[in-house]
Amino acid sequence: MRIYLVGGAVRDELLGYPALDQDWLVTGATPEQLLALGYQAVGKDFPVFLHPKTKQEYALARIERKQGQGYTGFACYFAEDVTLEQDLQRRDLTINAIAKDESGELHDPYGGVADIKARVLRHVSPAFSEDPLRVLRVARFYARYFHLGFTVAAETLQLMTQLSNSGELEHLTAERVWQETARALTEQDPQAYFELLHSCGALKVLMPELDQLWGVPNPEKWHPEIDTGIHCMLVLKQAALLSERLDVRFAALCHDVGKGITDPALWPKHHGHEHSGLPLVQELCSRIRVPNDCRDLALLACEYHQLLHKAVELRPATVQKLFDGIDLWRKPERLDLLLQCAIADLRGRTGFEQAPYPQADYLRQLASAARAIDVKAIVALGLKGEAIKLEVAKARLEAISTAKQQWQEQHPAS
């Protein structure tokens, strides 16, 4: 029996990148032998065991063969005669097919070390095309290592394109699509994930609401980059610089989806895209099972980003409607989350990367004034039902008006 450290832990050690998990591979052993040594069996589809002391996962070497459609259509064979090379051959990328034995020696039958040095994501074997999930995994690794200068090998991109056009991606479960997407969104360069999926045709299959943004023009005055797809990728990158939160990044990504269905005769203008985009956001979130918190913030970012940009110009009554719409009174944190999306939207334009966003401080000042209204004191006046709501709304409107006037006095040029 031989034990090897495999996969991400070896890859990230070679990259000098923080490794999160350690996966171990066992050759020349049977399940019975591991059980006799005190390992605990936990694998359902193939033999995985927990170490009796460290509780880390140890998997028996195995071979997988395609039998059906999708990423679950595999038959798994494991036995004492499965070699390390055979197990590594079934892995997706060469950089993930490196093993280190107990003496520290590297076993690299498929050139993963060379690809790490060359900063290339390359598939191990033609079996790559048997698993559609690997299209998303490569895109996620691309987002993870984009800042290190990684590229995708031309032959791997070709296989990804073939998979995207084959219909196999349609067999991926919504949960797996979101799982990979959510992980990519938390990386340093989440935009790289969507750019690669767009280039290989996978985004058109899985998230057409986003894919159709490429090629849609914006007014050059406000969008020197012009293309809406490019703009949304720049916005996502800016959102990643502003916040580590998954909901903020996803909302920033989705804010302009309405532009994808603007009548081309109206280009480059997109009047009302903040409203036409709402059903598209709903449809996207429903299809890939986006969690409620991410969906809700994405809908609000889509609907209100234009108002946030125009905040200083808005009448107090319109500001109050904005606060009502985002439920500022019960969820005050939403304003800052949406402002992060709005700042990313502004800075996600060529030449605007360092642009100030005074609307943020302005709206925070108005929101603070409106939230300072003592609702309990109004209730104590003896009002009932609808009368209480009207009086609270009146008081908040007066507070917003006063705060607006104070802001204008403090910022006469704004």
Q: Residues of the chain whose pLDDT is less than 70? A: 44-46, 65-75, 414
Q: Looking at residue 66, what is its pLDDT?
A: 56
pLDDT digits (tens, 9 = 90+) for 9-41: 999 999 998 877 789 999 999 889 999 999 999
pLDDT in tens, 157-174: 999 999 999 999 999 999
User: What is the model's pLDDT at position 68?
Assistant: 52
What is the structure's pLDDT at 81? 84
Structure tokens at 120: 């290339």
**Of 98, 132, 138, whose CA–CA distance to 115 is shortest?**
98
Could you write out the DSSP letters of every residue in 96-133? G--EEETTS-EE-TT-HHHHHHHTEE-BSSGGGGG-TH
Q: What is the pLDDT of residue 74?
A: 52
Would you call 19 helix, strand, or coil by DSSP?
coil
Q: Tell me which H or E stretch contains 395.
A: helix 385-410
- Extract long-range pairs of 63-66: CB within 8 Å, 24+ residues apart: 63/87, 63/90, 64/90, 64/127, 66/127, 66/130, 66/131
pLDDT value at position 348? 98
In this prediction the pTM is 0.92
Phi, psi of 52 (to 5 degrees): -60, -25
- Nearest CA-CA partner of 17 in 121, 144, 105: 144
Q: How far apart are CA 203 and CA 86, in angstroms?
A: 32
- Amino acid, res. 47: P
> What six digits make up the tokens of 399?
């507070």
CB neighbours (10 Å) of residue 389? 12
